[in-house]
Amino acid sequence: MAEVSIHPLRIDSLSGLIKAFIDVLRSEPGLDINVGNMSTQVVGESNMVFLMLEKAFSSVAKENECVMTVKVSNACPYSPPDQE
């Protein structure tokens, strides 16, 4: 599991870049993505998690300055959000 945040720099509108970043993560059906207010949890096989984090970062960083922070754990319990 990884907890990731993307921080756009020197742009007026943050939401478009953040949405684009999350959209890339969601494009991989093998990952469980839980978007929160301050960070996003990415759950799946570790090689796919790392691959998609790199892909998502590269997709937004090629035209924007940004910082990505990531915490990775193999021991944190994960409970998927309730489906309503």
CATH code, 21: 3.30.70.930
Could you tell me the residue range of the domain that residue 57 belongs to? 2-72
* Cβ neighbour number for residue 25 with a 10 Å cutoff: 22
pTM (two decimals): 0.86
The 40-43 sheet, strands edge to edge:
32-35, 40-43, 2-9, 65-72
Q: Is 83 exposed, middle or buried (0-12, 13-18, 19+ CB in 10 A)?
A: exposed
Predicted local confidence at residue 78, as pLDDT: 66
Predicted local confidence at residue 83, as pLDDT: 53
pLDDT mean values, one per 10 residues, the chain (84 residues):
95 90 96 96 96 98 96 81 57
Both tokens of 51, joined, read 């691959």
Q: Is 4 exposed, middle or buried (0-12, 13-18, 19+ CB in 10 A)?
A: buried
Predicted local confidence at residue 12, as pLDDT: 86
Predicted local confidence at residue 13, as pLDDT: 83
Predicted local confidence at residue 10, as pLDDT: 92
* Residue 58 belongs to a domain: yes
The owner of tokens 């509108």 is 13
